[in-house]
């Protein structure tokens, strides 16, 4: 199994009535901005371990499990919204870095949240790194009635259990699931990630399965449309130097997301100080695929 070089510690703090699980590496250093890492959809804070091990500089790193992921509670919600993630991040920074600007790194969904946060609270971000946080395709107002209807139908499906996450018989099955999703993930990495990504659950008959640590409500498509004009207005207020890191595999094309990398680069033009970088031989989970290459990019930029 993969051997972590830098051990983390876990703690819980209440954020907006929700018990939030937060992972820390290192200790606070006077005069040094904390490094805050926020994960993506159906992921957990521990997912950054490989990149953290590859960083040359010792510093205080703070990484929460988003609400409804990992060990953080969902607050009983049956829907999740980007505004909640942004607000949660603000409350977390008030707790861990009051009155202090941080270096903020976000992956995928977390990258999009980080971009929004940096434009909404520009004074709280010293440097910003977005790892494949592309946002969503543009929408049209005419899509709203259908989208609301789909959301209501999905809520009913959630109550019926239609969106339940598949359980696995053992940790080996969880590891294989991770490797199936990401063909570049090594066996030792998958074995290390599995117990952070799932936990045991005892069934009514006394048998035990491993359940993914993600609330199935995250599978619902949101009721609100993605408004590119609003997002660009937020991007224009980002004051932190911004690095957008992409994998050499074109994730947008592979997912069939409905918009292109060129369109994403056009959106980035609204960020006053933005640059891009590419991690070679990597897919969307680039912090798993090439942690050393990514760590070098991040630490050089933050310096």
The radius of gyration of the chain from alpha carbons, rounded to an integer in Å, stands at 19
Strands 61-64 and 18-25: antiparallel
Residues in the chain, total: 303
Please report which confidence band the pLDDT of residue 49 belongs to, taking 50, 70 and 90 as the band edges. Answer: very high
Q: In Å, how far are 45, 71, 77 from 20, measured between CA atoms?
A: 12, 7, 14
- Contact at 8 Å (CB) between 168 and 152? no
pLDDT class of 265 with cuts at 50, 70, 90: very high
- Cα distance between residue 38 and residue 89, in whole Å: 9
Q: Mind giving me the DSSP string for 135-158? A: ------GGGHHHHHHHHHHHHHHH
**Position 198 confidence tier, pLDDT thresholds 50, 70, 90:** very high
**Residue 256 confidence (pLDDT) above 90:** no
Break the chain into its structural domains and give their ranges.
Answer: 9-138+226-302
Entry pTM: 0.97
> pLDDT tens digit string along 71-90?
999 999 999 999 999 999 99
> How high is the pLDDT of residue 257?
83
Per-residue confidence (pLDDT) for residue 51, from 0 to 100 = 98
Q: Quick check: 95 pLDDT over 90?
A: yes
269: number of Cβ within 10 Å: 10
CA distances from 61 to 36, 89, 119, 231 (A): 6, 14, 22, 28
Residues β-bridged to residue 12: 21
User: What average pLDDT does range 164-179 have in this prediction?
Assistant: 96
The DSSP 8-state label assigned to residue 168 in this structure reads B
Distance CA 135, CA 154 (A): 21
Angle at which helices 109-120 and 228-235 pack, to 10 degrees?
60
Question: What pLDDT shows up at residue 187?
Answer: 98
Asked whether the predicted pLDDT for residue 115 surpasses 90, the reply is yes
Beta bridge partners of 43: none
> What does the alpha-carbon distance between residue 285 and residue 163 come to, in Å, rounded to a whole number?
24
- Within 13 Å of residue 292, how many CA atoms lie on the same side as its CB? 1
Q: What is the pLDDT of residue 67?
A: 98
117: enclosing H helix or E strand? helix 109-120
Distance of CA 216 to the CA centre of its chain: 16
To the question of domain 9-138+226-302 being in CATH 3.40.50.300, the answer is: no
* Burial of 72 per CB tally in 10 Å (0-12, 13-18, 19+): buried
Instruction: Return the closest-CA partner of residue 126 out of 105, 102, 110.
Output: 102
Work out the average pLDDT over 160-179. 95
Query: Contact, 111 vs 43, CB < 8 A?
Result: no
User: Quick check: 58 pLDDT over 90?
Assistant: no
Residue 254 has pLDDT above 90, yes or no: no
- Helices (H) then strands (E): counts for the chain: 11, 10
């Amino acid at each position: 199994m993969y051997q972590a070089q830098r051990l983390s510690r876990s703690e819980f703090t209440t954020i907006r009535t929700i018990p939030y699980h937060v992972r820390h590496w290192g200790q606070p250093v006077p005069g040094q901005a904390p490094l805050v890492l926020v994960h993506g959809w159906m992921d957990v804070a521990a997912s950054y371990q490989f990149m953290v091990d590859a960083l040359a500089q010792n510093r205080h790193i703070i990484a929460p499990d988003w609400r409804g992921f990992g060990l953080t509670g969902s607050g009983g919600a049956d829907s999740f919204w980007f505004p909640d993630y942004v607000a949660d991040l603000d409350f977390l920074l008030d707790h861990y870095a009051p009155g202090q600007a941080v270096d903020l790194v976000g992956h995928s969904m977390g990258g999009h949240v980080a971009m929004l946060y940096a434009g909404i609270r520009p004074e709280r971000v010293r440097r910003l790194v977005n790892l494949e946080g592309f946002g969503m395709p543009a929408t049209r107002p005419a899509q709203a009635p259908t989208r609301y209807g789909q959301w209501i139908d999905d809520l009913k499906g959630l109550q019926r259990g239609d969106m339940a996450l598949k359980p696995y018989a053992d940790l080996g099955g969880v590891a294989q699931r991770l490797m199936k999703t990401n063909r570049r993930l090594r066996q030792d990495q998958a074995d290390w990630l599995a117990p952070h990504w799932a936990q045991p659950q005892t069934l009514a008959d006394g048998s035990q399965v491993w359940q993914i640590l993600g609330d199935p409500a995250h599978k619902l498509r949101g009721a609100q449309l993605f408004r590119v004009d609003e997002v660009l207005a937020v991007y224009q207020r980002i004051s932190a130097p911004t690095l957008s890191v992409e994998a050499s595999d074109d994730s947008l094309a592979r997912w069939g997301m409905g918009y292109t990398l060129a369109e994403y680069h056009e959106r980035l033009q609204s960020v006053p100080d933005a640059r891009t970088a590419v991690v070679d031989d990597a897919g969307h989970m680039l912090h798993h695929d090439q942690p050393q290459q990514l760590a070098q990019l991040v630490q050089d930029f933050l310096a």
